[in-house]
Amino acid sequence: MIHAYCVILLLQLLSPTGASESGIVNGKVTKPHSRPYMASVQLHGQHSCGGILIREDFVLTAAHCEQPETMTVVLGAHNIKKKEKSQQQINVAKYIKHPKYNGKFDYDIMLLKLEKNATLNKFVKTIGLPRKKGKIPANIKCTVAGWGRTGHDEPASDVLKENTETLQFNFVCEQIWKQYFDDDSMICTKFTRKAGGVCQGDSGGPLICNNKPQGITAFILKDDCNNPKWPHVFTKVNAFIPWIMEVLKGKRNVA
Tell me the CATH number at 106.
Answer: 2.40.10.10
40 and 154 share a domain? no
Which amino acid would we find at residue 196?
Answer: G
Which amino acid would we find at residue 21?
Answer: E
Distance CA 183, CA 220 (A): 16
Q: Is residue 29 domain-resident? A: no
Distance CA 147, CA 239 (A): 26
Distance CA 110, CA 133 (A): 19
- Residues 54 and 102: beta-carbon distance below 8 Å: no
The residue range of the domain holding 109 is 2-16+36-126+240-248
- Residues 169 and 181: beta-carbon distance below 8 Å: no
Q: Is residue 25 domain-resident? A: no
122 and 244 share a domain? yes
Rg (CA), the chain: 16
List residues bridging with 234 in a β-sheet: 187, 217
Active centre residues (catalytic): 64, 108, 203
Per-residue pLDDT of the chain (255 residues; tens, 9 = 90+): 333 333 333 343 233 223 334 456 677 899 999 999 999 999 999 998 999 999 999 999 999 999 989 999 999 999 999 999 999 999 999 999 999 998 889 999 999 999 999 999 999 999 999 988 777 888 999 999 988 765 555 667 899 999 999 999 999 999 999 999 999 999 999 987 877 777 765 689 999 999 999 999 998 887 777 888 999 999 999 999 999 999 999 865 543
Q: Is residue 175 domain-resident? A: yes
- Kindly report the pTM of this predicted structure: 0.87
Q: Is residue 133 domain-resident? A: no
88 and 184 share a domain? no
Count Cα atoms within 13 angstroms, Cβ side, for 94. 15
187 and 99 share a domain? no
Question: Which residues in 131-143 are b (16+ Cβ under 10 Å) and which e?
Answer: eeeeebeeeeebb
Q: Is residue 204 domain-resident? A: yes
Contacts of 175 (CB under 8 A, 6+ apart): none
Q: Is residue 97 domain-resident? A: yes
Intra-chain end-to-end CA distance of the chain, in Å: 24
109 and 164 share a domain? no
148 and 229 share a domain? yes
- Residues 66 and 3: beta-carbon distance below 8 Å: yes
- Residues 200 and 247: beta-carbon distance below 8 Å: no
Q: Is residue 206 domain-resident? A: yes
Which amino acid would we find at residue 74?
Answer: V
Total Cβ atoms within 10 A of residue 99: 10
Phi, psi (deg, nearest 5) at residue 74 = -110, 120
Phi, psi (deg, nearest 5) at residue 88 = -125, 125
194 and 209 share a domain? yes
82 and 115 share a domain? yes
12 and 109 share a domain? yes
**How many domains, the chain?**
2
178 and 77 share a domain? no
Distance CA 39, CA 61 (A): 9
149 and 218 share a domain? yes
Q: Is residue 28 domain-resident? A: no
8 and 104 share a domain? yes
